[in-house]
Amino acid sequence: MGRRFKSGRPDQKVQVRRVPGPQLTGRQPRQWQPVAAGATAAGSLLANDQLAGPPDISLPTLSSWVYQYETPEAQPGFDDSSWTAASKTSSNSSTPIPPGQPDLFADDYGFHHGDVWYRGTYSGASAATSVNISYRAGGVGMIEAWLDGTFLGSNQLPTPGIYSTSPAESATATFTFSAALQTDGTHELSVVVRMMGHSEDGNSNNANKAARGLTAVTLTGAPSAPISWKIQGNEGGENITDTVRGPMNNGGLYGERAGWYLPGYPDGNWAPVTLPYSDTQPGVAWYRTTFTLNEPAGADASLGLTINDEATKAYRATIFLNGWNMGQYINNVGPQHTFVLPNGILHTGIGPPAFKGFAASPSVPACGTNWVTRVGGSSSPPAGPLPDYLGVIVSSSVSQTGAAVSGDTTGIVVVKTDPGYGPLPTEHGTGTVVATAR
């Protein structure tokens, strides 16, 4: 069987030896090229000349960043009317509910991954001088808390030691209230929990059923004051809306729920910034950029995104590529600094796969003509539902310039549409090609 080898260095030429073994018959892939070889004493074949090394690849510079601060959930008056009331009194978790507390465990409300927001309301507690927040988030998980829009602080679980198999999963953080926050009126306590996943079920010990999220919240000076809680996680909870990328792709950040992670999202009103960018605001901010990748024909290169910074800076980032979650970078923890960017998610040239896919012009497409539209919901896609059958343009080239997306028309096919389409960027339209129209 023929074997393909890659050298350990990208600039190195290699010789290929063919070892006798099982033989495949049938048509060979067209990209294979004949190689002059001679027999060895062992009966194998040895290439007469070294094979050429891989072509040089020029990587683009990541520039033209835009920035948008979010965290509206921490602000007074934020509309949480659609959030789920966290008022259960029993749990499916192996973690017991603390006495006098409602069930605040995120899993019991259908939120299992990523960030989860809580908003608690209380009143008549002017004697409260601080709040004690207990949480379970998994290794190096964290929380941030606000009271009436004022940032109280953050708490991060400790970094496990080398070879540690049991990182700390829970903690209690105490945040002090300023005098201005110690009043009898109604107060809104906002907490975001960065959950780091569940433990494995080692030796059937039910560790995978341990709670994630908040576990107990009490006010120092007013321990009996009731707090009414609401909870919000990933869009749709267990009925995820981004069925293409799956349940592990997104948490409950405002930007994730609004589709800010998707390519083609209309970010024209975001502020241009140059990295490194110093941001003193606590909470969550988003940075977006696009780049053009032009790999030589036939190149099979593995690419990665590398982040380097001073380890004393405490921040973390979730990395999205064309809408896919590539992982989490924690600057003051590490150790991972390079994140693989899979070839199946990268596109040669600018790939805007998240635009809604409805051409704005021409009104009647035809083979040999070009079409133009805009990214995301700015293209005014139909509200849905879609008709049972839909004519779909086939393009060999699609490009994006700013908010404009354009391409050619090499054919038109008939697609039997699936249910589930909606006008939002996360409400994808899918279907099956049943006929070729032209």
Burial class (CB in 10 A: 0-12, 13-18, 19+), 423: middle
Does residue 65 fall inside a structural domain? no
Same domain (yes/no): 413, 345: no
Same domain (yes/no): 126, 274: no
Does residue 307 fall inside a structural domain? yes
Q: Which helix (H) or strand (E) holds 118?
A: strand 115-122
- pLDDT band at residue 297 under the 50/70/90 scheme: low
The answer to whether residues 147 and 219 touch, using CB atoms and an 8 Å cutoff, is no
Same domain (yes/no): 49, 127: no
Does residue 155 fall inside a structural domain? yes
Euclidean distance between CA atoms 18 and 399, whole angstroms: 43
Euclidean distance between CA atoms 298 and 21, whole angstroms: 27
Q: Which residue has the tokens 């409805």?
A: 358
**Beta strands 404-408 and 370-374, pairing class:** antiparallel
User: Which token pair is 137?
Assistant: 């988030």
pLDDT in tens, 79-89: 999 999 999 99
Report in angstroms the alpha-carbon separations of 416 from 390, 411, 433. 7, 17, 6
Q: Which helix (H) or strand (E) holds 254?
A: helix 254-257
Same domain (yes/no): 48, 165: no
Euclidean distance between CA atoms 76 and 146, whole angstroms: 10
Does residue 241 fall inside a structural domain? no
Same domain (yes/no): 121, 225: yes
Domain, as residue range, for 414: 370-436
Same domain (yes/no): 99, 177: yes
Does residue 292 fall inside a structural domain? yes
User: Which token pair is 11?
Assistant: 């600039």
Euclidean distance between CA atoms 18 and 36, whole angstroms: 12
Same domain (yes/no): 81, 215: yes
What local confidence, expressed as pLDDT, does residue 361 receive?
62
Same domain (yes/no): 102, 175: yes
Same domain (yes/no): 295, 322: yes
Same domain (yes/no): 85, 164: yes
The answer to whether residues 394 and 411 touch, using CB atoms and an 8 Å cutoff, is yes
Evaluate if residue 13 carries a pLDDT over 70.
no
pLDDT in tens, 139-153: 999 999 999 999 999
What local confidence, expressed as pLDDT, does residue 296 receive?
74
CATH number at residue 129: 2.60.120.260
Domains contained in the chain, number: 4
Euclidean distance between CA atoms 363 and 367, whole angstroms: 13
Same domain (yes/no): 227, 181: yes
| Closest listed residue to residue 93, CA positions, set 229, 227, 213, 226 | 213
**Beta strands 398-401 and 150-156, pairing class:** unpaired
Euclidean distance between CA atoms 406 and 397, whole angstroms: 8
Euclidean distance between CA atoms 103 and 120, whole angstroms: 13
List all residues 6 or more positions away from 362 whose beta carbon is below 8 Å from its beta carbon: 369, 371
Question: SS3 for 360-390, per residue?
Answer: CECCCCCCCCEEEEECHHHHCCCCCCCCCEE
Does residue 357 fall inside a structural domain? no
In this structure, the number of other CB atoms found within 10 A of the CB of residue 122 comes to: 19
Global confidence as pTM: 0.73
Same domain (yes/no): 162, 304: no
Does residue 250 fall inside a structural domain? no
What local confidence, expressed as pLDDT, does residue 378 receive?
57
DSSP per residue, 287-344: EE------PPTT----EEEE----TTS--EEEEEETTEEEEEEETTT-S--EEEE-TT
pLDDT in tens, 362-413: 677 778 888 888 766 556 677 788 888 888 888 877 776 656 778 888 888 8
Does residue 253 fall inside a structural domain? no
List all residues 6 or more positions away from 239 whose beta carbon is below 8 Å from its beta carbon: none
As beta bridge partners, residue 414 has 391, 435
